[in-house]
Amino acid sequence: MIIKPKVRGFVCITTHPAGCAANVRAQIGHVRSRPAPAGGPKRVLVVGASTGYGLGSRINAAFGCGAATVGVFLERPPVENRPATAGWYNSVAFEREARSAGLVSKSLNIDAYSDEAKARTIDLLRGIGPVDLIVYSLASPKRTHPKTGATHKSALKPIGAVYRGKTVDTDRAVVGEVTIEPAEDADVRETIQVMGGEDWELWIDALSGAGLLADGCRSVAFTYIGPKLTWPIYRDGTIGRAKEDLERAGRVVDARLSAQGGRALVSVMKAVVTQASSAIPVVPLYISLLFKIMKEQGTHEGCIEQTQRMFARLYGGDVPVDDRGRLRLDDWEMREDVQAEVDRVWPSITTENLRDLTDFDGYQAEFLKLFGFGLPGVDYDADIDPVVEFPEAV
C-alpha cells in the first residue's frame, strides 16, 4: 500500500514503517557521532521504550554505551492493509539495528503495568544479568492496577478554577482560546494512579526481589516543569499532582538503590514534540515559539539530544542536581533570556502572524516525524508492506 499522513487532531492515524526506521537510524547516527560517556551502563532496562525519551534512552544505552538492553512497551502490531503504531516500527527498527551491531537486545510488547510484564522481564534478564540502569518512561492515558484490577484513567485538567488560555488548532493552524473545566477530586486521584510513581516502585521491588539489581544500579524517571504560562494545566493541574507523586516515588527508590551504592533521579526534561505533549492544550503553541527562539540561539534539542546529554551527566562524574535533587535537562529552555523572549512574544501571536513569530512549520515537521513522515531518503510514493515483524517473536 501507499501510506500518506492522515492527521486527526493531535494524532496521526497512519504511520510509515520505512520512515520510522529512517528516524531511528538518524537518532542512532547522532549518538554514534558523540563521545561515549565513560563508565556508562552495560545492562539496561527501559520501561516505555518505543517512543520519545524512552526510545532515546534505549538508543543512547545501546549505541552510545554498548549496553545490552531490554525494552518494554505496548504497541499495536500491523495487520494486512493496516499499519502498526509508530512505536512498533520504531522498536522493530531498533531491534534490527542492534542485532546488526552485535548488541544484545530483547523487546517485550506487553502492558508494562501488569505483573506479567514484570515476570517476563525478569525471565529475560536472568539470561542477561543484573541491570545497572533502569529508565522508567511510561506515558499512558490509563492503567489497570495489577493488584485491584481496577482501570484508572488520567485527566488533563486544572485544579481549583476554570482555565482559559491561548492555544493553536494544529490541524487548521488557527490560534484561539481554550477553556477547560476544573478537575474533581476523583480526577486527581485517577491521574496519580496512572501517571504517578507507584508503578516505578513496583518495578524496583520486582527486580530487587529477583536479585536483578546490580550494585551501583541507577534509575531515572522523567518529568517536566516548564514556564508559568503552562502551569495551570500542567504543573499546577492534575498532571502536576501525578508528577509530584513521581518525585515522591523517586525518593523512595533512591533510598532503596542507595543501600546498594546506587541512585535514583527524576530528570526534568525540556519541551519537545511527542505524542503526549501534542495532546496538551497551549503546549504545541508554546513549543512552536520555543523552537524558534532556541534554534536562533543554537540551543535547540529534541529527544535524542536531550537523552544524550542526560547520559553524559549521569556518567560524567558528580551528577549536578537542583535543590530538590532533580537532574535539570531543561536548563537551556528555562534560561532567563529564553523565557523573557517567550513572555515578550506570546501575547502578540495570532493566526495571521503564527508562522512569522513562531516555528510552527518546524513543530508540524517534528510531529509528522513521530509517525515516520518527512524523513529524507524515503520514497513516500512507493508501495510498502505495512506488516513488519521483529527479528524473533516478541
Q: What average pLDDT score do residues 340-368 get?
A: 97
Counted residue by residue, the chain has a size of 394
Q: How far apart are CA 38 and CA 317, in angstroms?
A: 9
SS3 17: helix
Residue 79's DSSP bridge partners are 82
Residue-wise pLDDT for 318-339, tens only, equals 888 999 999 999 999 999 999 9
- Model confidence at 275, pLDDT cuts 50, 70, 90, reads confident
- pTM for the whole structure: 0.96
Residue 219 has pLDDT above 50, yes or no: yes
Averaged confidence pLDDT in the chain: 95
- Model confidence at 62, pLDDT cuts 50, 70, 90, reads very high
So what's the pLDDT on residue 382?
A: 97
Residue 71's DSSP bridge partners are 46, 107
Q: How far is CA 181 from CA 163, 178, 184, 196, 279, in A?
A: 7, 10, 9, 22, 16
Residue-wise pLDDT for 4-28, tens only, equals 999 987 889 999 999 999 999 999 9
Residue 51 has pLDDT above 60, yes or no: yes
Q: What average pLDDT score do residues 110-131 get?
A: 97
Which of 299, 234, 219 is closest to 264 using CA atoms?
Answer: 219
So what's the pLDDT on residue 394?
A: 44
Which grid cell sits at 295? 534554534
Active-site residue (options: 234, 286, 315, 363): 234
Residue 368 has pLDDT above 60, yes or no: yes
Q: What average pLDDT score do residues 98-111 get?
A: 96
Q: How far is CA 393 from CA 87, 207, 388, in A?
A: 16, 23, 12
- Model confidence at 260, pLDDT cuts 50, 70, 90, reads very high
Half-sphere exposure of 177 (CA within 13 A, CB side): 6
SS3 268: strand
Chain centroid to CA 349 = 28
Report percent pLDDT > 70 for the chain: 99
131-136 and 105-109 strand pairing: unpaired
The DSSP code sequence of 32-88 is: HTSPPPTT--SEEEEES-SSHHHHHHHHIIIIIH--EEEEEE--PPPBTTB---HHH
- Amino acid identity for residue 97 in this structure: E
Q: What strand order describes the sheet that includes 213-223? A: 105-109, 68-73, 43-47, 131-136, 213-223, 263-268, 327-328
Q: How far apart are CA 200 and CA 194, in angstroms?
A: 11
SS3 164: strand
Rg (CA), the chain: 20
Residue 234 bears catalytic tag: yes
